[in-house]
Structure 1
Amino acid sequence: MPRENYQKRLEDLSEDVVGMGDLVLERYDAAIEAAETGDDDLARDVIEGDHEVNERYLELEEECTELLALQQPVAGDLRLVTASFKVITDLERVADLATNLAGYGGDDGGLHPAVEFRKLGHAAGDMVADAVAAYEAGDPEACRAVAARDDDLDERCRRASEAVVRDLLEADRARVEAAGADRNVETEADELAAAIDDVSRALLAIRDIERVGDHAVNIAARTLYMVENDDELIY
């Protein structure tokens, strides 16, 4: 393959990775909106549209494989191709988490009153967006900045999980005290089961948002390796 065609394929690969990032973030934002508002149609669009992300992933995986097998890139070109493969893998997993999140919202919208779900979700999504932008720009400092924000997201997720569990315990205690001598054990059991279901969905959503942040760090780590041959964020 002529050198100019090879370089064009590398440039196209980078552009296509960024394009996949845009698609995934669009689906992720829609998933947050669906969970927050209880919009079943929007949730269905996110879930059913996941095949488009998967198809994009497979196309780019094939391109990476062909470049590695047929062109045998070295040095910076090799790091570009291998990093791009890792980046699209993380993006595909973010899309999978988006399908989870889209399905967590209740009929009335919102996941749990103890959690600012939209803010938490957007914090993780912003990390992914900034990591993809760092990949596009080849910006090592932006990569390090994304990784540095992960501890804050983890702490926010930890506090949110604790708030959800604490709210469950307090609500159950209040329910028992309010019932007093007129307690109906069967009714209490039904109410507790419904509350536990709400808590479970909220905890799963928080866990998935934290994982989205982890994938953002992975993208930043691979980009840093691609740009500076520096693996400090990988391990």
Structure 2
Amino acid sequence: MARTDYQEQLDALRSDVLEMSDLVIERYEIALKSLESKDESLAREVIEGDQRINELYLELESDCIDLFALQQPVAGDLRFVASSFKIITDLERIGDLSTNLAGYALDAERERYPEVDVVYIGTEAGAMVSDAVDAYRHDDAESAREIADRDDKIDRLCGDASGVVIEDLLRTEYSDTDKEMMDDVSRLLLTIRDLERVADHAVNFCARTVYIADHDTELIY
């Protein structure tokens, strides 16, 4: 009976991690919509909902600690619990990044660089997260490796987007007192940086899935 209860705890942990993933992805997608539409109500929904993500993180952290302390998992089970703990940490950070994006949406009143499509970049990064979660769901190491490779595309998109902004700054004479312009530039560069970090967290998911499934640390860094 004890072994059955233990397996139920492991199954429940995976289920709860996936539930947290669904919530984080939902909040992230709403944040992207708020960034695109400058919809204040959507932005505030993300910001005010961050507390629930933090609460879920703490609950799952406690579950992982209990499994470590009370069940003392070994081998594959140990890799699963440890990796799940790392994944919820990445999820919590994506929640924080979503809150950042919503905050940028509240502050942005204009599109100074319409040629920089942050929503497209964000959608591609979000797809990486969703696919990485599915790989974790199925212990699919092969898919996880393929998803991680997509990070190169996100890096290129973010590099190109940042380059547009920096090149404009270099070729245009702005006054040191043009605070509005500097605020816009800073906000856009922060948006690009945060979207790149979202994709990085998806790579972390993939690394942990490969570790669970194949006991391979190749993507962990």
TM-score of the two chains, using structure 2 as the length reference: 0.94
User: 1:222 is aligned with what amino acid?
Assistant: R
Could you tell me how far apart the structure 2 residues matched to 1:29 and 1:90 are?
A: 16
Q: Which runs of 5+ in 1 are unaligned?
A: 177-187
Task: Tell me the C-alpha RMSD between the 2 structures.
Answer: 1.7
Deviates more, 1:153-162 or 1:111-120: 111-120
What amino acid is aligned across from residue 124 of structure 2 in structure 1?
A
Unaligned ranges ≥5, structure 2: none
Tell me, in whole angstroms, the C-alpha distance in 2 between the residues paired with 1:206 and 1:134: 26
Corresponding residue of 1:32: 32
Question: Which amino acid in structure 2 is aligned with residue 87 of structure 1?
Answer: I
- Residue identity matched to 1:231: T
CA distance in 1 between counterparts of 2:128 and 2:43 reads: 22
Alpha carbons of 1:203 and 1:91: their partners in 2 closer, same or farther (altered >3 Å)? same
Partner of 1:216: 202
Which amino acid is the alignment partner of residue 213 of structure 1? A
1:201 matched to 2:187? The reply is yes
What secondary structure is seen at the aligned counterpart in 1 of 2:220?
coil
* CA distance in 2: counterparts of 1:84 and 1:160, whole angstroms: 33
Judged with a 3 Å threshold, the aligned counterparts in structure 2 of structure 1 residues 44 and 227 are, in CA distance, closer, same or farther, namely same
Alpha-carbon spacing, 1:66–1:211, altered in 2? closer, same or farther (3 Å): same
Q: 1:33 to 1:206 in 2, by over 3 A?
A: same
CA contact (8 A) 2:140 2:213 kept: yes
SS at match of 2:104: coil
Other-structure match for 1:143: 144
Report deviation, 1:152: 1.2
Is the 8 Å Cα contact of residues 140 and 228 (structure 1) preserved in structure 2? Answer: yes
Q: Please give the alpha-carbon distance, in whole angstroms, between the structure 2 residues aligned to 1:217 and 1:110.
A: 30
Residue aligning to 2:81 = 81
Letter in 1 for 2:19: G
Give the structure 2 partner of residue 181 of structure 1. Answer: none
Q: Alpha-carbon deviation of 1:109?
A: 6.2
Partner of 2:123: 122
Structure 2 partner of 1:183: none
Larger Rg: 1
Contact 1:160 1:206 survives alignment (8 Å): yes
Deviations 1:54-76 (A, max 9, x none): 00011110000001100001111
CA separation in 1, counterparts of 2:30 and 2:19? 17
CA distance in 1, matches of 2:110, 2:212: 41
Contact map agreement 2:108 2:184 (CA 8 A) in 1: no
Deviations 1:134-156 (A, max 9, x none): 00011001110111011111111
Distance 1:100 1:3, change over 3 A: same
- Gap change, CA 1:197 and 1:108, over 3 Å in 2: closer
- Identity over the aligned pairs, expressed in percent? 54
2:214 alignment counterpart: 228
CA distance in 2, matches of 1:109, 1:64: 45
- Counterparts in 2 of 1:82-101, with a 5 A limit? 82-101=82-101
Alpha-carbon deviations, 1:195-232, whole Å to 9, x = none?
A: 22111100000000001111100111011101110000
Pairwise CA distance, 1:107: 5.0
TM-score by length of 1: 0.89
Residue 38 to residue 219, structure 1, CA distance change in 2 (3 Å):
same
